[in-house]
């Protein structure tokens, strides 16, 4: 295996349990507005949000459009007279308080920090991501944290990784490895930037896309051994 010096970790779904944070934040915010979050409502929101995030990844919309429209579209579909922008303003702080780690993530980073430079590369709202990373303690293990909102570009766009490259001292893409759970965001982003990639695939999902990571792991515990090959 090549000798890597720099590990670029995705945050949500790789080191942090976003689904748990999201579920808690949605439940709290819906109830604040007097709405019982039924499975039907949550599934409808998930479909709307997923579609907007795909548009965001593909550069079709910007972050502001994503976060200002998702709840507006949801309440329009549900026929509810609720201000989606105000709802989003309450949802983001609730999401920021959702600090849940993937099992083994903190110990993994603590061990890897001894031999590698660790960075977070994440799409999202800066204030929310910084809050969650700080609450988990992961921020203290990282050399730096790069969020799409600050970069003005997002994974999988090459511009996002160019932004990172300009801010990592002595950065050499041939010595970097992207580690993430999303083929379309993390792995495609690494490919676009000419960086090796490792797909974290805990669900052992079948790769049906024409996106080919250099490595694949199913648990975080596999990563140190892979890096020592």
Architecture of domain 19-96: Orthogonal Bundle (1.10)
The SS3 call for residue 180 is: strand
Q: Report pLDDT digits (tens) over 71-124.
A: 999 999 999 999 999 999 999 999 999 889 999 999 999 999 999 999 999 999
Q: What is the pLDDT of residue 211?
A: 98
Residues annotated catalytic, as ranges:
10
The pLDDT of residue 41 is 98
Mean pLDDT of 20-45: 97
Model confidence pLDDT, tens digit, residues 155-211: 999 999 999 999 999 999 999 999 999 999 999 999 999 999 999 999 999 999 999
Domain boundaries defined on the chain: 6-16+101-227, 19-96
Q: What is the predicted pLDDT for the residue at 229?
A: 82
Pick the CATH number of 6-16+101-227 from 3.40.50.1000, 1.10.443.10, 3.30.450.190, 3.40.50.300: 3.40.50.1000
Q: Any idea what the Cα angle at residue 88 is, between residues 13 and 8, rounded to 5°?
A: 25
The model's pTM is 0.90
pLDDT of residue 78: 97
Q: What is the Cα–Cα distance from 29 to 187, expressed in whole angstroms?
A: 32
Q: Calculate mean pLDDT across residues 52-59.
A: 92
Query: HSE-up of 175 (CA within 13 Å, CB side)?
Result: 13
């Amino acid at each position: 295996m090549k000798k890597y010096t720099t590990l670029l970790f995705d945050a949500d779904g790789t080191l942090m349990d976003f689904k748990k944070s999201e579920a808690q934040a949605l439940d709290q915010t819906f109830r604040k507005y007097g709405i019982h979050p039924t499975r039907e409502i949550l599934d409808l929101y998930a479909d709307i949000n997923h579609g907007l995030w795909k548009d965001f990844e593909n550069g079709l919309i910007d972050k502001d459009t994503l976060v200002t429209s998702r709840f507006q579209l949801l309440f329009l579909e549900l026929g509810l007279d609720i201000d989606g922008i105000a709802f989003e303003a309450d949802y983001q702080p609730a999401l920021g308080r959702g600090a849940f780690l993937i099992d083994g993530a903190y110990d993994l980073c603590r061990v890897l920090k001894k031999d590698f430079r660790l960075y977070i590369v994440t799409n999202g709202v800066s204030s929310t991501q910084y809050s969650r990373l700080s609450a988990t303690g992961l921020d203290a293990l990282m050399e730096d944290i790069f969020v799409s909102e600050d970069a003005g570009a997002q994974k999988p766009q090459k511009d996002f990784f160019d932004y990172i490259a300009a801010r990592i001292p002595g950065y050499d893409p041939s010595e970097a490895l992207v580690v993430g759970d999303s083929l379309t965001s993390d792995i495609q982003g690494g490919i676009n930037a000419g960086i090796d990639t490792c797909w974290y695939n805990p669900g052992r999902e079948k790769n049906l896309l024409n996106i080919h990571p250099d490595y694949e792991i199913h648990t975080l515990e596999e990563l140190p051994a892979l890096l020592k090959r």
